[in-house]
Amino acid sequence: MLSFIAKRLLSGVLLLVLVTTGTFFLAHLAIGDPTPGLLGNSATPAQQDALRAKIGFDRPLLVQFWDWISHAATGDFGSSWRNFQPVGDQLVLRVPVTLSVVVFATLLSAVIGVAVGILCGLRPGGVLDRVLKLASVVLFALPGFWVSLVLVTWFALDLRWFPAIGYVSPDQSVSGWLESITLPSVSLALGAIVMVAEQLRNGFLQVNNQDFVRTLRARGLSKRRVTAHVLRNASPAALTVLALMFVGLLGGAIVVEIVFNLPGIGSLTQSASQIGDIPVLLGLTAVTVVFVVLVNFLLDLVLGWVNPKVRER
């Protein structure tokens, strides 16, 4: 177990270093000199030089890289090139927003997706199963912002149940926080629910065909108890999809953050990439990868718990 953790940790750190290094050089290669974008070309050369010196852009690239990575290793991601605030401070503000929405969306899709997946798996070809199949295609084909806009129009503008925009921090008001993340989470979760349900349903049917299920039934176990066995065996695929979903949403919630005006990492990604604020982009990359590594680690733990055979590989 310890060696398992150590191995995963090592692999995670390696991934973190590789991805951030890649992003560092890609961003520098792609963006080039950021000062005109940050300052406007009307700035005098002296002002541009001053900014370059201030952000350390006048040094050789490798020196900048070493400077960045050695500081990042201690948790210091430097300062934004635009407003000179520490990147860490911005991330501390932004990450909880995206995390609230994504975690809530993941929970929603886990609970509802599992329920729907089981119901469909129990009665394949039934009405619910056919609805699920159709829904999966429809939600797959619908552009993401459509769903968000429909939700806003119904639940925020017509019914006034939820705010149309904005994020309320839970330390200000827990109910306000819940209200503010409901619509964004639901718009993210809709697609995810369908995917989890599909995956669980297919896994369910696959496991249902396995020998041990017949043996369990032959021992006289009730349908409900057999279902519990099948479910546990079918859950790894659904859990894996959930983890992938979480990872995908973490970096891909940009449109939802824009439509709901959430100050999360998605909207920060967009604005930072537009003006070429490389330290912010790198901080975002690092944070995202850390979460991905954590989630994958958790996933491995859970999968090992669900199916002990996995543990010994």
Binders of other proteins in range 279-298 (CB under 8 A): 281, 284-285, 288-289, 292-293, 296
Q: Interface with other proteins by CB under 8 A: which range of 2-10, 67-75, 102-110, 251-259? A: 251-259
Task: Compute φ and ψ for 79, nearest 5 degrees.
Answer: -120, 150
User: What is the C-alpha to C-alpha distance for residues 151 and 157, in angstroms, rounded to an integer?
Assistant: 9
- Output 104 or 201, the one with its CB closest to other proteins: 201
Provide the mask over 123-142, with x wherever binding to other proteins is found by CB under 8 A and - wherever it is not.
Answer: xxx-------x--xxx-xxx
Work out whether 175 is an interface residue with other proteins (CB under 8 A).
no
Q: How far is the CB of 261 from other proteins (least distance, A)?
A: 4
User: What is the C-alpha to C-alpha distance for residues 205 and 214, in angstroms, rounded to an integer?
Assistant: 13
Q: How far is the CB of 160 from other proteins (least distance, A)?
A: 7
β-pair partners for 79:
86
Instruction: Candidates 82, 116, 187, 190: give the one binding other proteins (CB under 8 A).
Output: 82
Q: Within positions 155 to 174, which residues make up the interface with other proteins, using CB under 8 A?
A: 156-158, 160, 163-169, 172
Residue 299 near residue 238 (C-beta atoms within 8 A): no
Work out whether 251 is an interface residue with other proteins (CB under 8 A).
yes
Q: How far is the CB of 56 from other proteins (least distance, A)?
A: 15
Instruction: Candidates 6, 66, 71, 153: give the one binding other proteins (CB under 8 A).
Output: 153
Q: Interface with other proteins by CB under 8 A: which range of 2-10, 60-68, 99-107, 154-162? A: 154-162
Q: How far is the CB of 196 from other proteins (least distance, A)?
A: 8
* Cα-trace Rg, the chain: 24
Q: Which two tokens stand for residue 291?
A: 């979460």
Q: Within positions 38 to 57, which residues make up the interface with other proteins, using CB under 8 A?
A: 38-44, 47, 50-51, 54
Q: Which two tokens stand for residue 56?
A: 């350390």
Instruction: Candidates 5, 13, 30, 131: give the one binding other proteins (CB under 8 A).
Output: 30
User: What is the C-alpha to C-alpha distance for residues 48 and 39, in angstroms, rounded to an integer?
Assistant: 7
Cα–Cα distances (Å) from 202 to 116, 126, 129, 193, 308, in that order, read 12, 14, 11, 14, 22
Residues 6+ apart with CB under 8 A from 280: 80, 81, 82, 87, 90, 268, 272
Tracing tokens 């049917």 back to the chain, one arrives at 205
Q: How far is the CB of 104 from other proteins (least distance, A)?
A: 17
Q: Which two tokens stand for residue 249?
A: 């949403």
CB neighbours of residue 171 within 10 Å: 8
β-pair partners for 86:
79
User: What is the C-alpha to C-alpha distance for residues 285 and 302, in angstroms, rounded to an integer?
Assistant: 25
Q: Interface with other proteins by CB under 8 A: which range of 60-68, 70-78, 79-87, 103-111? A: 79-87
Q: Within positions 102 to 121, which residues make up the interface with other proteins, using CB under 8 A?
A: none
Q: How far is the CB of 62 from other proteins (least distance, A)?
A: 19
Q: Within positions 181 to 240, which residues make up the interface with other proteins, using CB under 8 A?
A: 195, 198-199, 202, 205-206, 208-212, 214-223, 225, 229, 232-233, 236-237, 240
Work out whether 64 is an interface residue with other proteins (CB under 8 A).
no
User: What is the C-alpha to C-alpha distance for residues 36 and 44, in angstroms, rounded to an integer?
Assistant: 10
